[in-house]
């Protein structure tokens, strides 16, 4: 089975450092969030890059105050087909807030490792696992 991020059905299995944030863009539970003129879904693509900083703990719309988790988060429910031990990254293209096992390679993309798969359907996310980097 190939890696897939359903971008719905996220389950936060464990988390630390819950912080209330105000959204500048809609999100769903489990989305990677970053800050760019407000909290919105992260994206690795150069030109529109929003570096992942935390994980949304709930769904929300623009202007909503939601809880987001900073630090380590064990995420399940929305990811499948992962290879255990593989690093995870914020996705590119139009996949805002999603995860991928494919490292972004375009110069200027956000290529920070944001976590690792610990099972085919679970990941440990820690947006602070490595220093912010771009290609």
In a domain, 130, yes or no: no
What's the per-residue H, E or C state across 8-77?
Answer: CCCEEEEECCEEEEEECCCECCCCEEEECCCEEECECCCCCCECCCEEECCCECCCCEEEEECCCEEEEC
- Domains held by the chain: number: 1
Query: What residues make up the domain containing 36?
Result: 4-125
Domain contains 22: yes
pTM above 0.75, yes or no: yes
Each of the 135 residues of the chain gets a pLDDT tens digit; together they read 688 888 888 888 988 889 999 999 999 999 999 998 899 998 887 777 888 999 999 999 999 999 999 989 999 989 999 999 999 988 887 788 889 998 887 776 678 899 999 999 999 999 875 444 443
Q: Tell me if 133 is assigned to some domain.
A: no
| 132 within a domain of the structure (yes/no) | no
pLDDT at residue 129, as a whole number? 52
């Amino acid at each position: 089975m190939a890696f897939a991020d359903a971008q719905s059905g996220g389950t936060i299995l464990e988390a630390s450092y819950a912080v209330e944030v105000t959204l500048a863009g809609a999100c769903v539970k489990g989305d990677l969030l970053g800050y760019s003129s407000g909290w919105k879904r992260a994206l690795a693509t150069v030109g529109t890059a929003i570096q992942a900083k935390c994980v949304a703990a709930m769904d929300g719309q623009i202007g909503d105050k939601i809880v987001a988790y900073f630090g380590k988060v064990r995420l399940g429910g929305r990811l499948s087909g992962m290879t255990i031990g593989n690093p995870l990254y914020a996705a590119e293209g139009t996949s805002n807030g999603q995860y991928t096992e494919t490292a972004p390679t375009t110069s200027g993309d956000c290529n920070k490792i944001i976590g690792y798969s610990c099972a085919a359907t679970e990941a440990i996310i820690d947006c602070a696992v490595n220093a912010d980097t771009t290609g």
